[in-house]
Structure 1
Amino acid sequence: MFRHQGKNRTFRHNLRLASNLSLVAGIVNSVGVLAINTLTTNVTGHFAYFAEAFIVGHYAKAIPFLLYIFFFFLGAFVSNSCIEIAAINKKKYLHTAPMFLEIVLLVFVGFWKDWNFTDAENTNQIAYLLLFSMGLQNALVTKISQSTVRTTHLTGLFTDLGIETSQYFFYRQHPNEVKLKKNIFLKLSIIVFFFTGCISGTLLFYRIGLKALFAAALLITIALMMDNLIFYYNFTRRKFRRKTNA
């Protein structure tokens, strides 16, 4: 799911990646909206809020929206920097640092009230951390899937889905038909799992509050563990076959 890149990456790898991390993003999205009334998986709306506050002269209110955008950007910057550093040092696990950092941030925010961070002003700090974590995730997914998968927002996804669905009706006898089917199925999967994450995050939030983010952290942990298990299973199987054929 995480390890394969370039020609070694298959549709199945992208589907696993998309389904798991879209579920994570859906949980973060719903928890962010319910807990602090802020979008924490994308920055599109924050540009409009910033512009409104700036134009009417509420500069103090405009600054947090600018910081929301910055922290999402910073998350993406840090994520790709970690990947590039790992690649330069020829590390096998390019995805480890961004994913581990995302887990830490989600758990940290989940314990927010236990840290006695209860002031209303601190809601912005929650948004900064969640937007940073989603920037981490979105950059990682984009990088390793070669821009095939997006998991933190759906606007561009619905645009691409509309285009490809339209193309499918014109290319039924075209060599691109199989690829179009896969692309449409992948995008529908992202939408379904993101929606499922939103529903799950809402249900969990009403029961345990910000600790609902633990579910998102757990999903990433399970994905990393499964990725390692599958890798070592395939590695051991190939090694055994080579010994048998020798």
Structure 2
Amino acid sequence: MSVALHTPPTIFSMRHVPSWLLLSLAAGSVNAGAYMACQRFVTHVTGLATQLGMDVGLWRLMAEYGVVVLCFIAGAMASVLALQGRQQRGKQPLHALPLVIVSAMLMAVALAGQAGLFGPFGASVEQPTDFLLLSVLSFAMGLQNATVATSTGMAIRTTHMTGPATDLGVHLASAWFANGESRRQALRGAALRGGKIVAFATGAALMVPLAQASGYLAFLIPGTTILAATALSFLPGISVEIPEERALSQDGRLA
């Protein structure tokens, strides 16, 4: 048995779908903000792992990118402390706490960057301050992704769009051949995946003028957005026990 805050009936409810979109929008904003700050994406490991491979032989850069990847993994591991770790001790999982921490980290990045800790915004590439910024953001995004995934029984991911894009195609094709309730479920799944992709891109689009106008302070926006989603769908909440085999969404795919 595992403990999840949301199961398929609430995951696809009109109350909570906006939260998944807001979290995706925030991740898109963070990704765009990181790129504008130091020309690197940070909310998913694919690009970082590619850069790690492309820098073979440049050992200092490889080590630094390796640290950024490890920070994402460490953020995912940290979510266990507030969720499964407390459950193991017979306590209620603190579903909201990790997302509050993510929000606080983004706001701290905004203020620290404004104070000059990360150097001039967008003025340097592959400097130590860049990797400090990337490491902090990577940890925060790993923490967000794992917390949302665990709280939804591994049904929702919000910081990368490769899986949702794949599932969008699968659901659209399934809807073409299905009928009745199966078709409605496929279209519902496709709508959620498509909505997250649009929200992620919208977050990136919004971040461009914000970052151009205010530099590091633009990270206050995704931080605030994550707080809004947390208040809507993670605080307060009642955990619902679900069997492991039902931990995925009703259609059996990750959202």
The normalised TM-score by structure 2 is 0.81
Q: How many residues align?
A: 227
Q: Does 2:152 match 1:145? A: yes
In 2, distance between residues paired with 1:191 and 1:111?
Answer: 29
Deviation at 1:29, TM superposition (A): 0.9
Q: Does 2:94 match 1:85? A: no
1:198–1:97: structure 2 CA closer, same or farther, 3 Å change rule?
Answer: same
Deviation at 1:144, TM superposition (A): 1.6
In 1, distance between residues paired with 2:151 and 2:46?
Answer: 23
In 1, distance between residues paired with 2:235 and 2:50?
Answer: 45
| Structure of larger gyration radius | 1
The one-letter amino acid of 2:20's match is A
Q: Which stretch of the first structure deviates more once superposed, 82-91 or 140-149?
A: 82-91
Number of the residue aligned with 1:31:
33
1:7–1:52: structure 2 CA closer, same or farther, 3 Å change rule?
Answer: closer
Deviation at 1:87, TM superposition (A): 2.5
Could you list the per-position Cα deviations for residues 108-154 of structure 1 after superposition, in whole angstroms to 9, with x for gaps in the alignment? Answer: 11112344324542110000000100001100111122222211111
Q: Does 2:163 match 1:156? A: yes
Q: Which stretch of the first structure deviates more once superposed, 78-87 or 101-110?
A: 78-87
The structure carrying a bigger helix percent of its residues is: 1
1:71–1:51: structure 2 CA closer, same or farther, 3 Å change rule?
Answer: same
1:231–1:94: structure 2 CA closer, same or farther, 3 Å change rule?
Answer: closer
SS in 1 for 2:83: helix
Q: Which stretch of the first structure deviates more once superposed, 61-70 or 9-18?
A: 9-18
The one-letter amino acid of 1:63's match is A
Q: Does 2:43 match 1:41? A: yes
Matches within 5 A, 1:52-63: 52-54=54-56, 57-63=57-63
1:9–1:101: structure 2 CA closer, same or farther, 3 Å change rule?
Answer: same
Number of the residue aligned with 2:68:
68
The alignment yields a C-alpha RMSD, in angstroms, of: 2.3
Could you list the structure 1 runs, at least 4 aligned residues long, displaced by more than 4 angstroms after superposition: 89-93, 227-232
What 5-or-longer segments of structure 1 have no aligned partner? 233-246
1:154–1:224: structure 2 CA closer, same or farther, 3 Å change rule?
Answer: closer
CA contact (8 A) 2:103 2:227 kept: yes
Q: 2:182 aligns with which of 176, 183, 205?
A: 176
In 1, distance between residues paired with 2:234 and 2:91?
Answer: 15
1:92–1:7: structure 2 CA closer, same or farther, 3 Å change rule?
Answer: farther
In 2, distance between residues paired with 1:20 and 1:116?
Answer: 29
Q: 1:211 aligns with which of 195, 217, 221?
A: 217
Number of the residue aligned with 1:200:
206
Number of the residue aligned with 2:108:
108
The normalised TM-score by structure 1 is 0.84
Identity of aligned residues (%): 25
Number of the residue aligned with 1:190:
196
